[in-house]
Amino acid sequence: MTVRELVVDLFAEHVDVVADGPVRLRTLVSLLADFGVAEPTTRMTTAALRRSGLLTASRHGRETRYAATDELRAGVRRRWARLEERLGPWDGQWRVVIYAVPETDRAARERVRRALTRHGFGPLAPATWLSPHRAALQEVRAELAQEPLSRLDLLTARVAGELGASDRALATRCWDLEGVAAAYTALADRLVRLVEGPPPVGPEALTTHLRTLADARRIGQSDPMLPSALRPEGWPGPAVRELWDAFARWVVPGARAHVTAVLAAPPQAVAPPSPCEPGRVTKR
């Protein structure tokens, strides 16, 4: 988890929910210190998020205060909307991207692969990628149009079942579903162990929530979010989503209570930050 990701999650999950206005930079420094983030890193990260349009900054005397923007909130809503769309019923069609990049342009080839992965495509062959999601071609079209491709074909296709092929078998060729399932199972075991204990309070509640959220998102980024017709038997995704809801009920109240208390503390009560490697969050 990067500090940038941590700050966005802190605002989206907690600060923007409990704060009634912009929050002091020193308050953010205090909250992030519990993750091992140093003050200079917090200052650089919040300034960068302001420049990218995800936070607004205002001056109150000698203090700088920050608040989430509509762009940050819209990004959160888009993530949830995309998840709901991907988990909906499947229309039986595959979305296909076939492309060619000049052999000398390795950087462009890597950008294309990252973009396709980010939009839910999996590689059937090095330059042929598939996705079952309706919106996938539209999502990726504009991004790929900016790349120096010598060929770009966007197609829809169906598996010829009469020849013995199956959609589920095709999915297993495009994604490491066994690896994703193993990661989900490990996460489920972790969530069960956590919620069996007493709910955390104070900084522990906040760090437990956001660190676990980051780990869950990392697994989710490798999950193509296949519709039920394409998932292997016994796919752990639905069970993990139920466990996540239970985990959120267990941890979020304590985390928000802690954020509320830190927001209400007078400036002199803010704890000094601890040192950390710039740009990364310390694991504990």
Average of per-residue pLDDT values in the chain: 90
The helix/strand/coil state of 225 is coil
C-alpha–C-alpha distance, residues 152 and 142, integer Å: 12
pTM over 0.95, yes/no? no
Amino acid type, 141: R
* Rounded percentage of the chain residues whose pLDDT exceeds 70: 93
Is residue 79 very low, low, confident or very high in pLDDT (cuts 50, 70, 90)?
A: confident
Task: Tell me the pLDDT tens digit for each residue of 139-175.
Answer: 888 888 888 888 889 999 998 876 667 999 999 999 9
pLDDT attached to residue 111: 92
pLDDT value at residue 162: 66
Distance of alpha carbon 188 from alpha carbon 160, whole angstroms: 36
Q: At what angle do helices 3-10 and 202-222 cross, to 10 degrees?
A: 110
Report whether pLDDT(229) > 80.
yes
What are the chain's domains? 93-157 (3.30.70.240), 176-261 (no CATH)
pLDDT at position 164 is 64
Nearest partner of 136 among 184, 177, 174, 178, judged by Cα = 174
pLDDT exceeds 80 at position 37 = yes
Sequence-distant (6+) residues with CB within 8 A of 98 are 127, 128, 151, 152, 153, 155
For residue 81, what pLDDT is reported?
A: 84
Residue 68 has a pLDDT of 97
Q: Are strands 63-68 and 94-100 parallel, antiparallel or unpaired?
A: unpaired
C-alpha span between 170 and 147 (Å, rounded): 28
In order of 24, 25, 57, 214, 271, the CA distances from 43 in angstroms are 11, 8, 12, 21, 16
Could you tell me whether strands 94-100 and 128-131 are parallel, antiparallel, or unpaired per DSSP bridges? Answer: antiparallel
Of 100, 106, 112, residue with least CA distance to 144: 112
Residue 243's closest CA among 183, 188, 186? 188
Q: Is residue 273 scored above 50 in pLDDT?
A: no
Q: Answer whether residue 208 shows pLDDT above 80.
A: yes
What pLDDT score was predicted for residue 69? 96
